[in-house]
Every structure is written in C-alpha cells, then in structure tokens.
Amino acid sequence: MSTKSLSARNNELSNPQKQLEYLSEGLFADGELPTFKHKLEKEDDFPLQPKPLEILQINLGYMCNQVCSHCHVDAGPDRKEIMTVETMQHCLEAIKKTGAHTLDLTGGAPEMNPNFRWFVEEASKAGIKDFIVRSNLTIIVANKKYYDLPEFFKKHNVHVVSSLPFYKREKTDKQRGEGVFDKSIQALQMLNAVGYGKEGSGLKLDLVYNPSGAFLPKDQDAMESDFKTALKEDFDIDFNSLFAITNLPISRFLEYLIASENYEDYMYELVNAYNPAAVQNVMCRNTLSVSWDGWLYDCDFNQMLELKVNSSVKHISNYDEDAIQNRNIIISQHCYGCTAGAGSSCQGTVA
C-alpha cells in the first residue's frame, strides 16, 4: 500500500480531468456499456434534479492521518487543503438560511481542522440540531489532543459515522494501513464508554462497511448482523447500524482498479447491477456538498472530480438556496456506483 496520496506522487489520476476521461473512454466510448446518461434517459430520469435539501455536507479538508488505498478523496497527511475560518464563516451564514436540517462534516479527517470544534459550536448556535461527523476512528487515539473527542461529540449530540471496513484485522489493515484495526477498536471502545451505540443513550454510532477490493457490497442487513456478533463477542463493542457503501471508481480506488486489471469487470458489474429504484434516492438529490475552499458540488464525489454545481451560484460566499436547488445534477460513469444493487450513499443503501 502506498503511503502517499496520488497528488503527492504526481500520479496522473490526481488530475480529475484524467479520471473523467478514463471513465468516458474504452467500454463506454465504443458502446460496449451504456453511459450513465443513456441509462437515465431510458428510464426517463434524465436530467437528474434535486429534491428538497436535507443535508449540507461540508468537507473540512483533505488532510487525514490515514492513507487508505480506496480513498475517493485522495486524502492523507501530505494534503494541506483545509477549510479556513473565513470559509467557515460563509458556511455559518448559509446555515442560518438553509432549509437543510442536518450538517454532515467530512474530510479527510474533519477533526484535524484546527477550527473543527469552534465550527461545530458555532453551527450549533446557528440552529443546527443534527450533526453528523464522519470520523475515521483512529484520529481519536492518534494524539492526546483528540482523546476527549468522544466527550465533545457527546456534548453536541453528534451522530458519529465511522468507517470500519471489516470486523477482522487483516482486511481492515490491508485497506487502511498497519495497526488501523486495533486503533479503531480502541476508539470504538472509547465511544462506547461515553454511551455511543448504547441502547437508550440517544447517542448514535453507525459504522460504514465498504468492500476491501473490486467487488460490491451485498446484503447490508446480513453484514450488519455479522459485524454486530463479531464485534460484541470479540471486543464487547456496540453500535447502531451498519452502512454498506459501494466504492466509486474514482481517485485512489480507480487507481487500484486499473492497476489490478479489475476496472472493466468492475464497471460491468456496476452497470449490470443498475437499479432504477436507487436513482430516486441517490444522495445528490437531498444533499449539497461544500469543499474546503467553499465551492459547491452535487456530492463529495463530484467535488473530487472538480465538477462544480451547474448553477448561477457556485460558491458558499454567495449562497442562494433557491438558485442552487433549481439545477441539473452533473453526472458521469462514476454515478453507477450510487445506483448498483440496493444503491449506495453516505447513509448506506437507498433502495
């Protein structure tokens, strides 16, 4: 596993334009597989448009203490892009005006932004009741200054959503790095200790499972019960729900697919598993994504592909929800990752 981001390695896939070209050439250019647009047209779902906005997902930066091999953000310690206080202030202004009820903080490791806690507190004052923090778990034990994160989360009733690729050490460490499993377990125990994932506490702790390789997740419920049994038996850990998420063919996962010669099979599989019912609930329809530098995107994936919203308003500094809601969502072949099987979103399956 590489310990550097594509960006630090100057890999050509760190250029989103290259990724988009890759996703439009080959199989899709010679008609062997239909483009995503074509699929939507066939079901009369084109153009894809937003439903009422529910979630504002803010990416606080691409810096991360891990360098997971499947990361769609190309995050890592070598990424220096993090949100400034000024941009956070623009976000807070938008939060006062938005119809969205949930603030979803992601990264990188959002907690590594030095103004993370301040931002949560201000957003809470600005009226946000539902917070989601996408925590990679290991950050909680990475440094003393993060040890009290579980308490901080609890104080603001933050809904913690954490990735744990598998309930076994080997697969987790292969995807996320040596030692990640043990640290994740330790962090989960710390979260449990303050009440997270415990019945009746009201503190929600959900886990994210994503396949550690070129295959799709299957049967979220069965997987959840496997995770629950194993984590309880082996480590006495409790959590609420498991979200099974499909890896989208972009960024480092795309790099892996190409290098391991799995790209074609994987795309075939995504296309064959296309589920029109999932299209109704893809997350770009109720979520808006804000990047570390304040640009607006249909989703975190489009953010990484630098596909800014197709609207007159493209930046958080002149946020206008009516203008933004009246837009067509930008799509490409990576979208097949959201519509395969039971569908996939930041909240797990959608169909």
Q: Residues 6, 23, 71, 254: which binds ligand SF4 (CB under 6 A)?
A: 71
Report yes or no: 58 and 104 within 8 Å, Cβ to Cβ.
Answer: yes
Please list, in sequence order, all residues whose beta carbon lies within 8 angstroms of the beta carbon of residue 305, skipping any fewer than 6 positions away: 16, 19, 20, 250, 332, 334
Nearer to another protein, 166 or 243 (CB): 166
223 is a contact residue toward another protein (CB under 8 A): yes
Q: Residues 33, 161, 288, 331: which binds ligand SF4 (CB under 6 A)?
A: 331
Q: Residues 82, 128, 231, 282: which binds ligand SF4 (CB under 6 A)?
A: 282
CA nearest neighbour of 336 among 70, 57, 28: 28
232 is a contact residue toward another protein (CB under 8 A): no
Question: Quick check: bond before 211 cis, omega within 30?
Answer: no
Nearer to ligand SF4, 122 or 182 (CB): 182
Instruction: Compute the least distance from the CB of residue 201 to ligand SF4, in Å.
Output: 25
Nearer to another protein, 216 or 313 (CB): 216
223 binds, among ligand SF4, another protein, none (CB under 5 to 8 A by kind): another protein
254 is a contact residue toward ligand SF4 (CB under 6 A): no
Report yes or no: 164 and 184 within 8 Å, Cβ to Cβ.
Answer: yes
- By CB under 8 A, what part of segment 167-196 binds another protein? 168
Show the tokens assigned to 38: 């074509």
Torsion angle of the four alpha carbons 143, 149, 150, 153, in this order, in degrees rounded to the nearest 10: -160
Q: Total number of residues binding ligand SF4 (CB under 6 A)?
A: 24
DSSP state of 34: -
CA nearest neighbour of 254 among 9, 12, 4, 3: 12
Positions in the binding site for another protein (CB under 8 A): 166, 168, 211, 213, 215-219, 222-223, 226, 264-265, 268, 272
